[in-house]
Amino acid sequence: MKKKILELIDKKNKSKIVSLTAYSKNIATILDNFCDVILVGDSLGSVLYNYKSTREVRLDAMIEHSKSVRMGVKKSLMVVDMPHNTYRNPKEALNNAKKIMSETKSDAVKLEGGKKILQIIKMLVKNKIPVMGHLGLLPQTDKTFKFKGKKISERNKILKDAQLLQSAGVFSIVLECVETSLAKLVTKKINIPTIGIGASNNCDGQILVFDDLIGLNSIDFRFVKKYSNIRKEMKKAVSSYARDVRSKKFPLKKHSY
């Protein structure tokens, strides 16, 4: 197992794991100074392309963005989401995971699901492809956006799935929109790190979509804390630029050849 992954696992119960998404070199370069994990998330579908769901994201798009991110990542663990319909069976999953790993030089891939994709995960791990799991709300397959863990059956399934994923060899699990006490229980019951998004501070770490964190997206989610209002700053900059161009204050002689 790669050194970076072993270091991540070692953080469990010791220090919180910091994770964010990135889709380009420029953003990745900034995040790399502060993050333990940088995820090239299929959330780029809605964030960059205005898709209605992550199900519309294609493998080629993930690979191209990941190539860009790789250029900005030096110290963080870089993980790439395998998009919808790229791991429907073990053979397909292996071919596509190999393609991602070889073309992007990423450290690992992330797959959504539990028992249903167990044999797929085992196939990847057997072929030395590190896998991050993802339980709770599954954007690639869930039809409604609802938190998980209210029903007893749901709680039991997520806990069991987490244990199965661990036994299959995943090195960590993202818990998305999982009820607080369930997130705490899952984190306690498994020996690998949990990374939460809308799953309370009981997880071993946290992940957010970077564009949400900086206020670039106008949408509001309960689990997002906006640490900046970058839209406001962008508007201010563009307004100043437009004013300078129209008043002939830009470009000046020092900006010209």
| Cα 231–chain centre separation | 22
In tens, the pLDDT along 35-87 reads 999 999 999 999 999 999 999 999 999 999 999 999 999 999 999 999 999 99
> So what's the pLDDT on residue 136?
97
222 confidence band (pLDDT: 50, 70, 90):
confident
Please list the alpha-helical segments (H only) found in the chain.
Answer: 3-10, 25-31, 44-49, 59-72, 90-104, 118-126, 152-168, 180-189, 210-213, 230-246
218 confidence band (pLDDT: 50, 70, 90):
confident
Which residues make Cβ contacts (< 8 Å) with residue 78, sequence separation at least 6? Answer: 37, 38, 40, 66, 69, 70, 106, 107, 108
> So what's the pLDDT on residue 114?
98
> So what's the pLDDT on residue 70?
98
Q: What torsion do the CA atoms of 18, 132, 30, 76 make, to the nearest 10 degrees?
A: 80
Average pLDDT over residues 208-237: 90
Please identify which residue in the block is written with the tokens 């790993």.
101
Average pLDDT over residues 217-230: 85
Name the pTM for this structure. 0.95
Average pLDDT over residues 194-221: 93
| SS3 of residue 172 by DSSP | strand
Mean of per-residue pLDDT scores for the chain:
96
In tens, the pLDDT along 135-182 reads 999 999 998 888 999 999 999 999 999 999 999 999 999 999 999 999
Average pLDDT over residues 10-16: 96
Exactly one of 103, 154, 176, 179 is catalytic; name it: 176
- Clarify whether 176 is annotated catalytic: yes
1 confidence band (pLDDT: 50, 70, 90):
confident
> So what's the pLDDT on residue 20?
98
> So what's the pLDDT on residue 19?
98
Distances (CA, A) of 188 to 13, 24, 103, 147, 226: 9, 35, 36, 20, 29
Q: Exposure string (b/e) for 22-36, b if CB count within 10 Å is 16 or more?
A: bbeeebbeebbeebb
> So what's the pLDDT on residue 144?
85
